[in-house]
Structure 1
Amino acid sequence: MRLLLDLGNTRLKWALQDGAGWLAHGAVGWDEEVAAALARAWAGLPAPAAAFGASVVDAEREARVAGCAARAFGIAPQWLRTPAEACGVRNAYAEPARLGVDRFLAMVAARADGLGACVLAGVGTALTLDALAADGRHLGGLIAPGPRLMRQALLGATAQVRPAQDGRVVEAADNTADAVDSGCWLAAAALVERFVARMAPRLGGAPALSLGGGDAEALAGLLALPARRSEDSVLRGLAVWAQAQSGAAPAA
């Protein structure tokens, strides 16, 4: 049995892996009392033999979560730092550790799912895009603000753009609220579609598109492309990586 930890920009997700599935799982926002929330969530759960974590946050928050795991289960997480190659995925970055570990693990999960040549879009605080060839080669990617961060940046940097309420996404807005929300969400959709189109020749044809992250469902409805949802891709990729570290036997 393993404890898996995904420390993202907005929240922490965790799962207690038993064999091929989750015995328990949950999420805690960084704006919550993390230690208290984890203590409640983990109370009464069986103690895992090991803990593995993926983090895109600072060392202070990693240490806080590690302390929670130590108090609850008496174990210290092993933090994955992005490698040059693992689990059949070859990192395109010249400095492999510079690639976000969440992006790398999403590719590991996609390869484990047998997705083949694909584009992976992570739609959250940031919008990340990665192209993965059928043979596991990472062809590179893009990072942009996610739609909500675009909106936040726009409102924070302008004096006159002050909608009184959230808007709707429309093709051509006749008010500021709709214009702001439409511009941000449709810009994100256009970037995804452009990246898929530009990567298609290098991927040998139209790739599968996989969407993950907290805003994946909202963005999916705006795309002119078919897309599959990928739930918990970082945790699932982390499970594959943890399994590779401990050999072929199932987690117990």
Structure 2
Amino acid sequence: MILAVDVGNTRIKWGMHDGNSWLSQGGIETSDVAGLGDAWRGLIAPERIVASNVAGPHVAMQIEEACKGWPAKMQWVVAVENQCGVSNGYEIPSQLGSDRWAALIASRHIVPEGCVVVNAGTAMTVDALTADGVFLGGLIVPGVATMLRALAVSTAAIEEGGGHYRDIPKNTSDAVYSGALSAMVGAVWHMNALLAGEIKRAPTCLLSGGDAQLLLPLLSGKTRMVDNLVLDGLIRIALA
């Protein structure tokens, strides 16, 4: 049994895998990490634990504390130069977020002909992966809630929340919400066009993360939603 853990800034997601398929999956808010031991109480003891963490060392320590009752050793994933058919194009490979690295590895096996990998959460990452498995680089953009919060904090006349997406907004709340989504969609389109020029065809776009369902209706072309892309990549790393 392998326990895969995706520790994000907003949510912690996990899944128990038997080497062939998922047996169970779950998640909690990262702010509730102290209760993770209770959430895991009914899980079968894993033989291995593989995890990605972008929430900082304090949260990592609490994750390790929750795993203490199991004999399995914790493997914290760190991006490397080459792994599972993916070559890391970052100037310093280890600086690439472990969540992005795991998502790229999963995407390589889902769309082997090359794709744009979008993970839309607290921040949205938009990464370019060629048909040869080369990660060219990518963008990091604030997520919807992060953008809305930043505008509410930094301006006097804009309040957080309440807006809806409109193609041409006619009130401030809708303008703010639609602007945030449009900025994210624009980043995806931009990377999609750059990768299309590199691979000489229109790439597939893989969408994952909490904001993915907000973006899907606004993206044209070959776009697919994939749940828990990071967890899938973690399992591929563990099984390699």
SS in structure 2 at match of 1:25: strand
2:126 is matched with which residue? 129
SS in structure 2 at match of 1:63: helix
Residue 24 of structure 1, CA deviation: 1.7
Cα RMSD for the two superposed structures: 1.4
1:242 is matched with which residue? 238
SS in structure 2 at match of 1:199: helix
Please say if residues 66 and 76 of structure 1, whose CA atoms lie closer than 8 Å, have aligned partners that are also in contact. Answer: no
Q: Using structure 2 for the length normalisation, give the TM-score.
A: 0.95
| 1:211 counterpart (207, 214, 232) | 207
SS in structure 2 at match of 1:202: helix
Question: Percent identical across equivalent pairs?
Answer: 38
* Aligned residue identity for 1:78: Q
SS in structure 1 at match of 2:68: helix
1:227 aligns with 2:223: yes
1:2 aligns with 2:41: no
SS in structure 2 at match of 1:13: strand
1:31 aligns with 2:28: no
2:60 is matched with which residue? 62
Please say if residues 121 and 128 of structure 1, whose CA atoms lie closer than 8 Å, have aligned partners that are also in contact. Answer: yes
| 1:198 counterpart (191, 194, 197) | 194
Bigger mean CA deviation after superposition, 60-69 or 19-28: 19-28
Residue 93 of structure 1, CA deviation: 0.7
1:177 aligns with 2:173: yes
Residue 31 of structure 1, CA deviation: 2.4
Q: CA 1:6 to 1:123, structure 2 compared with 1: closer, same or farther past 3 Å?
A: same
1:247 is matched with which residue? none
Q: What CA distance in whole angstroms lies between the structure 2 residues aligned with 1:175 and 1:40? A: 45
Residue 152 of structure 1, CA deviation: 1.0
C-alpha deviations, 1:112-150, integer Å up to 9, x for none?
224421111111111111110111011111111112211
Please say if residues 139 and 187 of structure 2, whose CA atoms lie closer than 8 Å, have aligned partners that are also in contact. Answer: no
Please say if residues 158 and 172 of structure 2, whose CA atoms lie closer than 8 Å, have aligned partners that are also in contact. Answer: yes
Residue 86 of structure 1, CA deviation: 0.4
Moved over 4 A (4+): none
SS in structure 1 at match of 2:222: coil
Q: What CA distance in whole angstroms lies between the structure 2 residues aligned with 1:45 and 1:125? A: 28
| 1:150 counterpart (129, 147, 151) | 147
**Aligned residue pairs, count:** 240
